[in-house]
Amino acid sequence: GEDVEQSLFLSVREGDSSVINCTYTDSSSTYLYWYKQEPGAGLQLLTYIFSNMDMKQDQRLTVLLNKKDKHLSLRIADTQTGDSAIYFCAENSGGSNYKLTFGKGTLLTVNP
Amino acid sequence: NAGVTQTPKFQVLKTGQSMTLQCAQDMNHNSMYWYRQDPGMGLRLIYYSASEGTTDKGEVPNGYNVSRLNKREFSLRLESAAPSQTSVYFCASTQPDSSYEQYFGPGTRLTVT
């Protein structure tokens, strides 16, 4: 079955880069996503990458995909205190039900 | 556009009571989903509706029922609430002819005592 794994915690200093890692097991994944959840809020889509790409950049965010190792990462440049949140990795393996499988989330703490 | 809306935002129930969580989306999406979020467990899919008129079980359907009332609305019902159903419930929707990203509502925080 599908499984998505993430480390649970990451702590960085303001201004540093943050790298959040994710591994997945389903080799038929078509899209992979990063969501952000701030305290008391719903999930907000940050970015996604199609499985035939190996990198996507969007302002301070860089997504790297290593399809051979089934490894996805999210790099946040110049991390700010407002980036403190839980970050979820998710994958879509296609099919007619369009379900996503989520990791358990990584709590990013940005220290001033 | 309001996106995905959920009501209520907060609810406290006693064990054995019933309630319905409401979800609506104004993005004309075909597919809708109900998740629960518990500490350390991530998001787990309860039920989903791939299109209007269809519903299917997800990972943790026991104790819940759903209704896809029309294309816009997808409700989740707890017939006899149990303390194990204390959780935060999220509704989401997606348009299948896109990159399948799901859009989430703000959540309903439910406590069962």
The DSSP letter of residue A92 is E
- CA torsion sign for A40, B103, B54, A95 is negative
Window B:36-75, CB contacts with A under 8 Å: 40-43, 45, 48, 50, 56, 58
In the predicted structure, residue B13 carries a pLDDT above the cut 80: yes
Report how far residue B52's alpha carbon sits from residue B42's, in angstroms, rounded to the nearest whole number: 27
Name the one residue in this structure whose structure tokens are 């990791």.
A103
Query: Does residue A32 contact residue A72 with C-beta atoms inside 8 Å?
Result: yes
Query: Does residue A2 contact residue A92 with C-beta atoms inside 8 Å?
Result: no
The DSSP letter of residue B70 is S
Nearest to B28 by CA among B7, B3, B54, B6: B3
Query: Does residue B111 contact residue A103 with C-beta atoms inside 8 Å?
Result: no
Which residues of chain A register pLDDT less than 70? 1-2, 94-97
Q: What is the pLDDT of residues B72-103, one digit of tens each?
A: 999 999 999 999 999 999 999 998 766 778 99
Report how far residue A95's alpha carbon sits from residue B29's, in angstroms, rounded to the nearest whole number: 17
Confidence at residue A27, expressed as pLDDT on a 0 to 100 scale: 77
Greater confidence, B105 or B98? B105
Confidence at residue A44, expressed as pLDDT on a 0 to 100 scale: 94
Select the residue from B34, B48, B93, B101 to test the A interface by mutation, using most A Cβ atoms within 10 A: B101
Report how far residue A106's alpha carbon sits from residue A6's, in angstroms, rounded to the nearest whole number: 6
How many other β-carbons are positioned within 10 Å of the β-carbon of residue B52? 15
Q: What tokens appear for A87 in the block?
A: 């970050």
Q: Strand, helix or coil at B83? A: helix
Nearest to B102 by CA among A24, A62, A92: A92
Nearest to A88 by CA among B50, B58, B37: B37
Q: What is the pLDDT of residues B41-69, one digit of tens each?
A: 889 999 999 889 999 999 999 999 999 98
Select the residue from B100, B103, B108, B109 to test the A interface by mutation, using most A Cβ atoms within 10 A: B100
Confidence at residue A94, expressed as pLDDT on a 0 to 100 scale: 63
Q: Is B88 touching A (CB cutoff 8 A)?
A: no
Q: Which residues pair with B73 in a beta bridge?
A: B24
Q: Strand, helix or coil at B4? A: strand
Nearest to A42 among B31, B33, B107 (CB): B107
Nearest to B40 among A41, A42, A104 (CB): A104
